[in-house]
Amino acid sequence: MFNSPSTSNTCNWKLKVQPGSTSTLVVDENSIIAGSLSGAGTLYYNVPASTNSLSADLSAYAGTINVTTDADGGSFVLFNTKGYKDMKVNLNNLVKMIYRTTSNITLPVGDLTGAVNSILGAGGTAACTIRWEVGARNANSTFNGKITNDQFSGTGAVAAIRKVGTGIWTLTNANTFSGGTNVFEGVLMVNNTTGSGLGSGHVNVHADGILSGKGSVSGPVMINEGGILAPGSGNGTFTVNNNVTILRGAILSVEIDKTTLKNDLLAVTGTLNMAGKLKVDWLNNSVPAAGDVFQIVTGTVVGMPSEIIPAIPGADLEWDLTEFAAGKLKIKTATGITKLESNSAIFPVPFRDKLNIRLDQQIEALEVSIFSLTGSELFRNTYHNESNIVIETEHLSKGIYMLYLKGNNESFSRKIVKE
């Protein structure tokens, strides 16, 4: 493209990049690229300055835009409300991606990757919130650049992040945006080593969303019902320099590896408000034992898990939450016979395709679970006001399992055998 910085040029083109092909467009320093872009190939888009705007309709483009610039850097200025849901954007070093106008808008980007010296900013010329919705292509990818509140001109704009799609999107830099983060789907992996991986705003994880990583964040974190906070991602520490709230129905998920004597850790400088579930996964065939103690949280802890998954750590063992206020998860030998156990009959022994549970009296809500000896949950159901329960067990292979019953504020486990 002819470069004429002293004049403004508008190009109304219908561009198409065929699948599997590669094209290059070097834009004028003072121009507007209008029209449309379609196809599914790779377009190398060179921005030599900050005065070019891409206003073309890219809603039909399912390929990749690889944005490059020169040694002075350049801005990839987007200006179309239809968004970029089906395409991937890769920002090379010294490229800044922003929106052109002042608008409270959500802009979908199918996938976003970037080099360490690239920037995803906000945009506009005055106060507004630019929400970048990343992940609709369901890809696993990494953005190594910075996310900031940079704008086209003026002051007052903020950037915000919405994670969607089933993929894992990893952030590795110290980010300074302040518009907040919402995780709706998939995994947002925060692996920064300095600063805050999610800027200074609030962080909300919704149903079907997972917040994970070995980095740190500075804003308050809230895990809503159906959402998961999984610190560490393979025995590591996730730091929140603020408060964490895990609401009822949400999950705090930790991995424990007794072979290396390591486990995931949630480090909170504020307060962990715990009302949700605690999920434990054992790595490398770790075998839990009575007396085990795992520090899974540091900081002030208020509240207790509503339940632990799996319900029992192993045969003849049970969880011990007596020191959960100190962030410790303990294991002890299962206690003696409870009233619930003495009033329950489990037959036949051994069983085949059906397992029967008979109670001397009805229980308003009886939770029944079956686990493998390694702690994997194979069956779970809640029965209301029933005294004769029949469980279909055709899906279970022959072997030894753990049956867990919980009701009337009591619980017990029993080893069962299928032949």
Look at residues 148, 100, 95, 160 and name the one whose alpha carbon lies nearest to residue 124: 100
Which single residue is written with the structure tokens 């010296």?
Answer: 117
Q: Residue 28 — very low, low, confident or very high, per pLDDT cuts 50/70/90? A: confident
Q: Assess contact for 154 and 130: CB atoms under 8 A.
A: no
Average pLDDT over residues 149-172: 97
Statement: 339-418 belongs to CATH 3.90.180.10: no
- Spell out the residues 6+ positions from residue 261 whose beta carbon is closer than 8 angstroms to its own: none
DSSP string covering 30-81, please?
SEEEEEEEEESSEEEEE--SS-EEE-SB-TTB-SEEEEE--TT-EEEEE--T
Q: Using CA atoms, how far apart are residues 280 and 230, in angstroms rounded to an integer?
A: 10
> Which pLDDT tens digit goes with each residue over 301-346?
999 998 899 988 988 889 999 999 999 999 999 876 678 888 899 9
On the question of pLDDT at 401 being above 70, the answer is yes
CA Rg value for the chain: 27
- Helix, strand and coil content of the chain, in percent to the nearest 5, comes to 0, 55, 45
Joined together, the tokens standing for residue 260 give 């290396």
Look at residues 204, 195, 154, 193 and name the one whose alpha carbon lies nearest to residue 177: 195
- pLDDT score for 374: 62
> Which pLDDT tens digit goes with each residue over 196-209?
999 999 999 999 99
On the question of pLDDT at 2 being above 60, the answer is no
- pLDDT score for 312: 87
Strands 366-371 and 399-407: antiparallel
> Which pLDDT tens digit goes with each residue over 251-260?
999 999 999 9
> Which pLDDT tens digit goes with each residue over 67-90?
999 999 999 999 999 999 999 999
DSSP string covering 333-385, please?
E--S--HHHHTEEEESSSBSSEEEEEEEEEES-EEEEEE-TTS-EEEEEEE-S
Q: Using CA atoms, how far apart are residues 106 and 266, in angstroms rounded to an integer?
A: 31
At residue 339, φ and ψ (nearest 5 deg) are -60, -40
Three-state DSSP at 326 gives: helix
Q: What sign has the CA pseudo-torsion 284, 290, 295, 299? A: positive
DSSP string covering 395-417, please?
TSPSEEEEEEEEETTEEEEEEEE
Strand partners of residue 238: 266
Percentage above 90 pLDDT, the chain: 82
- pLDDT score for 228: 98
- In this structure, what DSSP letter does residue 397 have? P
- pLDDT score for 6: 59
Number of other residues whose CB lies within 10 A of the CB of residue 131? 20
Three-state DSSP at 28 gives: coil
Q: Using CA atoms, how far apart are residues 42 and 153, in angstroms rounded to an integer?
A: 30
Q: Model-level pTM?
A: 0.85
What's CA 161's distance to the chain center, in Å? Answer: 13
- In this structure, what DSSP letter does residue 387 have? E
> Which pLDDT tens digit goes with each residue over 43-69?
999 998 767 899 999 999 999 999 999
Average pLDDT over residues 376-392: 92
Residues across the chain: 419
- pLDDT score for 410: 84
Look at residues 79, 73, 151 and name the one whose alpha carbon lies nearest to residue 115: 73
- pLDDT score for 272: 97
Q: Residue 5 — very low, low, confident or very high, per pLDDT cuts 50/70/90? A: low
What's CA 373's distance to the chain center, in Å? Answer: 29
- In this structure, what DSSP letter does residue 247 have? -
What average pLDDT is seen over the chain? 93
Q: Residue 231 — very low, low, confident or very high, per pLDDT cuts 50/70/90? A: very high
Number of other residues whose CB lies within 10 A of the CB of residue 349? 10
- pLDDT score for 125: 95
Q: What sign has the CA pseudo-torsion 114, 117, 123, 127? A: positive
> Which pLDDT tens digit goes with each residue over 271-304?
999 999 999 999 999 999 999 999 999 999 999 9
> Which pLDDT tens digit goes with each residue over 95-107?
999 999 999 999 9
Which single residue is written with the structure tokens 């449309």?
Answer: 36
- pLDDT score for 4: 57
Strands 95-99 and 119-123: parallel
On the question of pLDDT at 114 being above 90, the answer is yes
